[in-house]
Chain A
Amino acid sequence: MANENDKVGQKNLKNGFQKLLSNIGEVIADAASLEVVTFSGDFNYKARQVITNDVNKVKINNVLKLMTLESDVDLKLVAYTNIKIDSDVTTFVKSDLSQDDNDLLKLHMEMIESSKTSRQAVIQMVKDLIKI
C-alpha cells in the first residue's frame, strides 16, 4: 500500500481515478453501434501482435491497416455484423464458404450473443454509476 505520507502517491491516485472515469466516459460516448468481426488467416506470431498493439476500439479498417503494416499475412474477413442502436442488423458473410468454414460461422454467431451480453453489462454498470 502506498505510504500515506507520500504526497506524490496520493496525488497520482487522485489523478489516476479522475482520468479513469474520464476514459470510460470517452469510450462509452462512442457506442452507437455494436460490431462483431471474425477473420481467418494462416499466422501465429503476427496475430498476437495485433492483440498486444492495444487496438482499443475494434474498427475493421484499423485492424486491417495494422495487419497490412505489420504483416504480410493473407487475412480473410469471414463475417462482419453491425447492430445499430435502433436494432438494425447488417451482416456480411464470406461468399465462398466451405463445409470447414461452419466452425468459423459458429464462432461468429456465438460472439454476437456474447457481445450483446457484454454490451448489456456495460450499460448496466453505467446506469448504476450515474444513479448517485
Chain B
Amino acid sequence: MISNASAYIISQLEGELKTLPGRRNEITQHLIELGYISLQKANAVRPGDIIEAKAKFLDEVLQSSIFPGEYVEQLMLVGKDFALSTLLRKITDIDEGITFRELPKNGEVSLSTRLIHYRLDVFGLWPMNIAAPFSSLSIFKLNEIAEFAKCKTLEVVNFLADVEQFTEHLLKIHPEEKFILIFKSPKVSDKTRKTLDRRHPFKRQLVDDFGERADFFKYLNKNILVNNPKNVDVNFLQKEAGNSFKKFILRLIQVHQWRDGFYSGLLDSDIGEVTLKSMLDAIDFYNSTENRNIKTYRVITYVHQGYFVFNSLFFLKEYMIEETTPANQNGEFYVLNNLTSQLGQSNEKDRADFSSNINKLKADIYLESEQEPGEKNGFLRRVYFGVKKLIQKALRFARKIFSWIKDKVEKVWGFLKTLFRDFFENLEMGIRAFVDGINFLFGRKPLESSNGNEMIISKFSIDGDSVSITSGQISNVLQDHLDTIGYNVKSMKFTLTIVGGILKLIIEMVSIITWPLLILNIIKTYKNISASYLELKASQN
C-alpha cells in the first residue's frame, strides 16, 4: 500500500498539473489556420465546430501518407489532445516542416493542399479559403515566390518548410541593395517617427557598409538621405515601397519576428507601430544579452511623409539566422543541464528567487494559453508553436537563462515565456506519465467498462498480478474492455519507463532535492525518454 508520504508527492504533482497551460486553444487556432473551422467563426467557435473539425482533421491525417499510421497510434497512446496538437504543430511548422516529392493534383482537397495554402497564407499570398481545392491559382501564387527564389514551383513548397534556409537562399542569390527596403507606415506615431529620424548616421553607416557599390546606394545617398526633407525624392520612395520583392521581404521579417516571439500582432504585412516596436525590441534584446551596443540607426531611419528606410540585410543576418552546428541537435538538453547545474550550485536566496520567478513565468504562460483565438479585419490572431529555432536561440543564451529567471529580467521575459511554454508542456506530459505509472504500480488504477447492468472491472498490482470482476452478461462490453486493457498495458510500458527515469535521478539527488530541481528533472527525463521511445518504436516498425 502506498504510504502517506508517497501520496503527498502524487498530490503535489497533481496540484502542479492544474497550474500548467492547456492545449485547447492552440488546437482550435491550428484548426482555423488549416481551414477546418472557417475564419468567420473564429470569434465565436462552438464546441460542436471543434469536435467536427478534429474528426475531419484526423480523418485526413489517416488518409494522407504524410504520417505513418503507427506513428499516429503511438501519439494517441499518450493522449488524444497530445496527438492532435503534435500533428497540428508538425503540419504548421515552418522551421522543420513537412516536405513534398510532388504537388497535389488539380481539384484535390487534402491535408497536403491545406498545408500548402497555409504556407502561402503565412506569407500573405493566399486570398482564398485554406480549404479550397488545389488549383491554377495555387500554382500561380507559388510561382510568385518561385520567381523571387529563382526556383521551381515544388521547391517553393519545400523552401517554405524551413524559413531560415529559405532566407539564407534569398540572401545568397540577390544583390545587397535588394535588402535595403523602403516602406510607408502612415499610422506610426509622431513620437516614434521623431525617435527614429536618424538619416545622417544611417547614411554614414550605409556608406561604411556598402560604399557606392551600386547605383541604388548612390541614389539613396544623394536623393533620399538628405538634410532637407523637402529635397527627398518622394516618387522614388513610393516606387520602392511598391516593389513586390521588397514587400515580400518585409513580410518575411514579420514572419521571422512572429516565429521568434518578438511579434505578437497579426500577420498582415502592415508595418505599423507593433511591427516597428518588435524590430526595436529585437535590437534591444540582442544588445542586452550579448553586451553589444547596436544603435537603431544601424538598422532603420525615418525619412519623410511616413516613409522609412530599413537595412534588412543587417537585420536578417545579425538576428534572424542562427548558426547551425551538430551541437544544436541536443540544444534543449544543454539548456536544461545548464539550468539544473546552476540551480544545484546556487545559494539559498538565489534558489528562492528562481523558484518564485519560475512560478510567475508559469502564471504568465497560463494566462496567455487561456486567450482564445480570434479574428480581426480578416486576420487570425495566432501563436507560433515550432521550437527548433527557439532552441537554437536558447542555446546561444544557455548560460544566462538561470540569472534571467532569478532576476526576472523584463527585456527577455517574452523570450523566456516562449521557451518555457515548450518546457512546461513536457513537464505536463512527464507528470501525467509519472502519476499514471505510480498509480498503476500501487494498484490505484482500476479499469472499468460498463453498459447498463453489464460491467467489468480489472485491476493490476505492482508485480503484474491482476483481478477482474464482472457483473451480468458481458458480451456487449467485453471488446471495449479488452481494448482498454490493451491500450493501458501498451501505454504503461512507456509510463513505467518515465517513472524509472525520474526515480533514478531522484535516487542520485534525494538529499538535495527541491521542487524546481524536481520539475527541471521531470522535463529532462520526459524529453529524453519520449524522444528515444518514439525513435525505438519507429525503428521497430
Contacts and interface: CB of A to CB of B under 8 A. Distances in A.
Nearest to A5: B352
Given A50-B469, A114-B486, A115-B466, A10 B514 contact: yes
Contacts of B410: none
Interface stretch (B115-123, B224-232, B318-326, B473-481): B473-481
Contact of A1 (B358, B443, B464, B507): B358
Contacts of A54: 1, 443-444
Interface string A56-79: 111000010000000000010010
Chain B interface helix/strand/loop/mixed: helix
B238 interface: no
A118 B515 contact: no
B493 A4 contact: no
A63 to B, nearest CB: 6
Size category, A interface? 35 or more
Contacts of B63: none
A13 B475 CA distance: 46
A118 B6 contact: no
A93 interface: no
Given A17-B510, A37-B467, A108-B468, A1 B516 contact: yes
Interface residues of B, number: 75
Residue of B351, B481, B506, B518 with most partner-chain A CB within 10 A: B506
Contacts of A40: 469-471
Contact of B9 (A13, A78, A117, A119): A13
Interface string A25-38: 00110110011111
B474 A43 contact: no
B145 interface: no
Contacts of A23: 1-3, 6, 442
Residue of B463, B489, B514 with most partner-chain A CB within 10 A: B463
B492 A20 contact: no
Given A4-B354, A17-B9, A118-B489, A125 B443 contact: no
Contact of B504 (A34, A35, A132): A132
B446 interface: yes
A50 to B, nearest CB: 7
